[in-house]
Amino acid sequence: MMKLHDLLLQKRPAILEKWFQAALETYPADTSRFLRREKDRFANPVGHAISYGMEGLLDQLFDGNDSAKVSSLLDDIVRIRAVQDFSPSQAIGFIFTLKRIIRDVLQSEIRSGNASAEELFALEARIDSMALASFDIYMGCRETIYELKATQVKNATLKLLERTNLLTEMPEHEPDSNDDSDGK
């Protein structure tokens, strides 16, 4: 039996390609063609974040254990999908797709008993942790959006109150207030 790790490294290009393709297919056909074709990271920030992020995530999944790095890579992708035209499940569904893709790519090895079920289970558990982390990031992004919206409204209201002289600011410190002996 081959170690799952070696199998995964061997099949890494196929896994990456299928995973990337699956993510692109969540966009309309004209868009996914562009996301794949344009390699410049500034002309195509979405395609770049997904492909670069997925490469890094596979590295971490197969060989690394840097949770900060995983978070940052996930953030690059999820932050984008959190404002695009996706429901929450669609926005982070790409993580779960990876499990199906790995099982597809390793199908014959799994059938022939060449891949350890235990190791596979452990790998899938790590993918699940990534999904959970994505959920946190997604919620964080949405909360930021709501906060930014709320702050804009609050600031606008405050400005109006100030302009109409309905508010006067509390002075930062009252001079001589410490010397004020008649009880403050």
Considering the complex, what minimum distance in angstroms separates the CB of residue 69 from another protein?
14
Q: Which is nearer to another protein, 164 or 177 (CB)?
A: 164
Considering the complex, what minimum distance in angstroms separates the CB of residue 147 from another protein?
9
Closest to 132 measured CA to CA, from 90, 96, 86 = 96
Residue in the structure block whose two tokens are 């959920």: 135
SS (H, E, C) the chain: CCCHHHHHHHHHHHHHHHHHHHHHCCCCHHHHHHHHHCCCCCCCHHHHHHHHHHHHHHHHHHHCCCHHHHHHHHHHHHHHHCCCCCCHHHHHHHHHHHHHHHHHHCHHHHHCCCCCHHHHHHHHHHHHHHHHHHHHHHHHHHHHHHHHHHHHHHHHHHHHHHHCCCCCCCCCCCCCHHHCCCCC
Q: Which is nearer to another protein, 85 or 136 (CB)?
A: 85
Considering the complex, what minimum distance in angstroms separates the CB of residue 144 from another protein?
6
Considering the complex, what minimum distance in angstroms separates the CB of residue 142 from another protein?
10
Considering the complex, what minimum distance in angstroms separates the CB of residue 172 from another protein?
12
Q: Which is nearer to another protein, 11 or 48 (CB)?
A: 48
- What is the rounded distance in angstroms from the CA atom of residue 157 to the CA atom of residue 151? 10
Q: Which is nearer to another protein, 42 or 176 (CB)?
A: 42
Binding site for another protein (CB under 8 A): 22, 25-31, 34-35, 38, 40-46, 79-80, 83-85, 89-90, 93, 141, 144-145, 148-149, 152-153, 159, 163
